[in-house]
Every structure is written in structure tokens, then in C-alpha cells.
Amino acid sequence: MRSPCPSPGDERLRSEDRGEPMATLCRPAIAVPEHVITMQQTLDLARETHAGHPQRDLVLRLIQNTGVQTRHLVQPIQETLKHPGFEVRNRIYETEAKARVPDVVRRALAHAETEPGEIDLIVYVSCTGFMMPSLTAWIINTMGFRSETRQLPIAQLGCAAGGAAINRAHDFCRAYPGSNVLIVSCEFCSLCYQPTDIGVGSLLSNGLFGDALSAAVVRGRGGTGMRLERNGSHLVPGTEDWISYAVRDTGFHFLLDKRVPGTMEMLAPVLQDLVDLHGWSVPDMDFFIVHAGGPRILDDLCRFLELPPEMFRYSRATLTERGNIASSVVFDALARLFDDGGAAEAAQGLIAGFGPGITAEVAVGSWAKNGLPAGAAPDLHELEPVGGVALSG
């Protein structure tokens, strides 16, 4: 079994054991559009729209098996089912992103008790629309962020991008101690609906994906939440075409291989390996926040990691109430943990995003208040930046 790529240096000591600064993933802010479609409405639409489809009954059964009861859409369903062209759809993406992103950004900053001027890097993740310059430029220009703020748009990691954003924020805070990173996820999956795609995988996706936005701050010092301690990435060889976009005149066409539901047999050991590398034990972990692309992902993780279903309750709640919201899943599930009172001091947890590649982005860490290990006293001394490169703020 190949181990995931560990955090830089392949050290087996945890970051706090080496006396390194911590990065804390604070409470996310979540927003969903106001237009709602239920599973029953989805099934009725599938029956009506694809009445003559030779595999219609199979599709209906697969949609029911997802367990997705409600999804939120950025447009009313009547508009969602139309296809005005790629240009118009992308214009809708940009307009809606600019209208909705500021709210989640402000709330995420408030949750982390930070101001725009204290943010050193903005990571923006989205796979459902395209802008250049990235929305990061617009955020910096309109929301009071410093002109020196770094920008890191991630557009081609799909559902894994939420985990990747957390890991790149962690890496940045380790490289530049005391820095703060803002992560923003904006996913309008409904804008990728293609009425001419009638394969079973495409029709299933039409009943699975939803729209959502999220934001969270990773603080290099202080903050309450998950203290990030180690991260890793893993690419399953030979699976590049299992989840992909075909880019055509009509926009992004989502392609889903029938082998995708079985990927946890390959990725569960990756999670196990990273936990072992950190000196922890999966059965002793306190919380798991994972991308819920579908119910089988969660069922298989329970089986392969020998964990009770309760351990994935937050991810399952996200899937049930909002569907697969791509890179925002991990933030929505984490927000539910916060809503539930958070975890106990020093509780051990794992966050994982899965997506095209097939790619896994995994992080482990412990729960802390004010970014400190249990029983630790605050360090009141300013930390020197790594490599002599200082970041203002």
C-alpha cells in the first residue's frame, strides 16, 4: 500500500512536539441559495423529462438511493433546466458569485475574529464557473483587503478542492508563521446542467449536486477550531478519466465513471496511513469531516476503517439536506460540528476531500481553543518568519 505524501520533511514528530507554530481552521460560514428542490420534485422531473429513457427506472432508483432530500439552486428550477449558452451561464456565475460571496467572507472573518487587513492569502476554490482575473482580485479590491494579499485560485480539483484549500492554507501558515489565510468556496453546480446529457451517470448527477458557498479562516496564531497538524495528498494512478469535465461549446459536461462509487476501497487506506504516520489510531479518533459525494462513500469508509456510522453524521447531514455541494461539503460538515458545540479540547480529528484524479486531500489535527494545545499557555512573543520573509498584517 502506498502511503500518502506526508507533510514537508516526512517528520514523524507532530508539529507541536517540534515547537512549531500552529494553524487553526476556524468556524466556517455557509450560505445556500433560496431556490429549493426536493427529492420528490427531482424524481417527478426525471419521470417527465425522460419518460422514454430505456434506463429511467434505474436512474430513479439511483437518485432515491442517494438520500438527498433537498438541494438549493441559484436559479428557479424552470430557469435551471434551460440552456441559454455557455457565455450567459458564466455571466450568471460571475454575477451571483459577486452578489453572494461577500456575506460568507464577512461572517467567516467575524467567526475567526479577524479583519480583512489581517489576511495574508486568499484561496478561492470553484469548479462550476470561470473568471480571469479570479474572484480573488475582486474580493481584494472591494472588501478592504490589502493590495499585498496573496491570491491562490484553485479551479481544477473539483470536489477535492475544499481539502486542498485547507492543506495549502496550512502549508502557508507553516512557511510564514503568524499569517492568516481566508478560504472561499463558491459552487453553483446547477449551472453545469446539460439537457442533452442523458447517460445514467449524468442523470444521477442531476439529482445529486446542489449549490452552496462557504468561507473559513485559517489563523496562524490563536483561534478556536481544528488545529491543523499534518496534511497529505494522494493520487490513485490510472483514474484520470473517472471524474472529468468535457469542455464543449455548451460549457462543462460532467463525466462520471461507474467505478467511482468504489474508490473508498483505494482511499480508505490513505486516510489510515496518514493517521498512523501522525502517531494516532483511527479507532481512537473523535471526529471525521469528509467529502460526501454520495452515500456509498460514507458507507464504505465505515466498513474499511471499521468505524460506526455516527462518526460521519455531519457529512451525511450535508448530503441529505444539501446534496453534493462539491468543494463546500467539508466546510458545511465542519460548520455542523461547530453548531453541535464543537469538539472536546484536544479531540483528534480528520478532514478529507475527494475528487478528480482520483485525488484525496487529507488533514489531521486536534481541537483547540485560541489555537493552543490543551494546558498550554499563550506565546506572547512575536514569531520570526521563515526564511526572513515578513508578511505585514
Active site residues: 159
The 8-class DSSP code of residue 281 comes to -
Q: From CA 72, how far away is CA 31, in angstroms rounded? A: 10
Rounded distance, CA 301 to CA 58, Å? Answer: 25
Contact between 137 and 151 (Cβ < 8 Å) = yes
**Before 358, cis peptide (omega within 30)?**
yes
Residues 6+ apart with CB under 8 A from 277: 3, 6, 12, 230, 232
Backbone angles phi, psi at 228, to 5 degrees: -75, 130
Torsional sign, CA 233, 21, 216, 150: negative
Report how far residue 158's alpha carbon sits from residue 185's, in angstroms, rounded to the nearest whole number: 11
Dihedral of CA atoms 302, 360, 68, 201 in degrees, nearest 10, equals: -110
Q: In the block, which residue shows the cell 462543462?
A: 252
Per DSSP, 14 falls in state: -
SS3 category, 241: coil
Q: In which residue are the cell numbers 484549500 written?
A: 165
CA–CA separation, 238 vs 180, rounded Å? 36
Whether residue 77 contacts residue 35, with contact meaning beta carbons closer than 8 Å, is answered with: yes
Rg (CA), the chain: 20
CB contact set of 225 (below 8 Å; sequence gap of 6+) = 24, 25, 26, 27, 338, 342, 367, 368
Mark 58-93 as b/e (b = at least 16 C-beta within 10 Å): ebbebbeebebebbbbbbeeeebeeeeebeebbebb
**CA–CA distance, 130 with 120 (Å, rounded to integer):** 23
Specify burial of residue 274 (Cβ count, 10 A radius: 0-12, 13-18, 19+): buried
Task: Name the β-bridge partners of 124.
Answer: 153, 184
